[in-house]
Amino acid sequence: FDQPLDELESQVDPQLFFRANRQVLLTRASIVELESYFNGRLLVHLRPPAREEVVVSKLRVADLKRWLNAG
């Protein structure tokens, strides 16, 4: 993509996409597993696998769980 992720995020449906961190937008279908990670963070396993680890900060974990349960 040739646009900042902030701009892309503003154009997609927030019920379908979740901003995991500064680099990644997620869809529910891409999430295979959530794994507890250091200091209250979550490691997200994706299909297809991401090139780098996708980690959700401690501050965003509750938002991610709410988003997953809403879908």
Q: What is the pLDDT of residues 15-59, one digit of tens each?
A: 999 999 999 999 999 999 999 999 999 999 999 999 999 999 999
SS3 7: helix
List all residues 6 or more positions away from 60 whose beta carbon is below 8 Å from its beta carbon: 19, 20, 21
**Positive or negative CA dihedral for 42, 21, 24, 62?**
positive
| pLDDT at residue 3, rounded to an integer | 86
| pLDDT at residue 1, rounded to an integer | 67
**pLDDT tens profile 2-12:** 789 999 999 99
Q: 44 with 31: CB under 8 angstroms?
A: yes
d(CA 38, CA 40): 6
